[in-house]
Amino acid sequence: MKKKLAILCALGLVLAVSLPAQNLLRETSEYQQAQDLRQQAEEAFEEGEYNRAVELSAEAEDYARQAEVAARHLWWGYRARSARTRTERGITRVRNIEEPLNHPDRFEEAQDKFEEGSELIEEEEFETAFDLFQDALALLDGLSGDEDVLPQYYTVRRIPEKRDSFWRIAEYDFVYDDGFEWQRLYEANKDVIQDPDNPRLIQPGQRLRIPERDGETRRGEWQP
């Protein structure tokens, strides 16, 4: 009896992982392997092959841990590449300023961090690359003048092929250029959506406020 309870507990723990980006977990091959092994373990348990069930369950847990590591790697990859895009655009804006820069040393340091971060992305050192891009963006703050003014409000559109959602809106370059910032939008607009507890339920025509992040200036409505 104790043995059966131990097996059931082991089966219940498989894939019980904590992950900031749960939606990426299913994109890993390790996740599918863990699911297949868990199913085999359950079948072995039902057939009374308890030793086999234990072996399969342990193997499934190992793949589940590998899946979490792989998913975290994907998550940081998305974040780092998004931060690289924002940094590259910031550098371009500063380069287009006609007046001499008040802090050319800051701009040079930002460029160095951008180049170093880009090299680290090629090496898949995503977390360190992300930190470098964030440092570069902080250095660029205040160097690009009025061109940095962004819209403060966005009206949800009806786009049949790619429906607006908090994630997709956060991805727009004039919003945050980063889908992982969707919760910032959601928290600021709970009072205007139909069901405050359901961030997936937004409707065309709803006017959303875009909160400023550090270093941002936002005014007016976004115009398509």
Question: Residue 6's pLDDT is what?
Answer: 53
Indicate left, alpha or beta for 180 from its phi (over 0: left) and psi (-120 to 50: alpha).
alpha
Question: Residue 211's pLDDT is what?
Answer: 93
Question: Residue 188's pLDDT is what?
Answer: 93
Pairing of strands 217-218, 149-150: parallel
As given in the structure block, the two tokens for residue 29 are 């091959």
Question: Residue 16's pLDDT is what?
Answer: 44
Question: Residue 130's pLDDT is what?
Answer: 93
Cα–Cα dist 75/170, whole Å: 16
Pairing of strands 207-209, 153-155: antiparallel
Question: Residue 15's pLDDT is what?
Answer: 46
> How far is CA 67 from each of CA 25, 37, 79, 125, 199, rounded to the nearest angstrom?
6, 13, 18, 18, 27
Q: Decide: 135 and 183 in contact? Cβ < 8 Å.
A: no
SS3 165: coil
Report yes or no on whether pTM surpasses 0.85.
Answer: no
Question: Residue 23's pLDDT is what?
Answer: 64
What does pLDDT average to in each consecutive run of 10 residues of the chain (224 residues)? 50 46 71 83 83 83 84 86 90 77 85 95 93 90 64 87 87 90 92 85 90 83 76
Q: Decide: 140 and 90 in contact? Cβ < 8 Å.
A: yes
Q: Decide: 54 and 7 in contact? Cβ < 8 Å.
A: yes
Cα–Cα dist 156/179, whole Å: 16
Q: Any idea what DSSP says for residue 173?
A: T
The arrangement of secondary structure in 151-218, i.e. its CATH architecture, is Roll (3.10)
Angle 186-71-17 from CA coordinates, rounded to 5°: 85
Q: Decide: 206 and 193 in contact? Cβ < 8 Å.
A: yes
Question: Residue 19's pLDDT is what?
Answer: 43
Question: Residue 18's pLDDT is what?
Answer: 41
Question: Residue 148's pLDDT is what?
Answer: 58
As given in the structure block, the two tokens for residue 83 are 């931060």
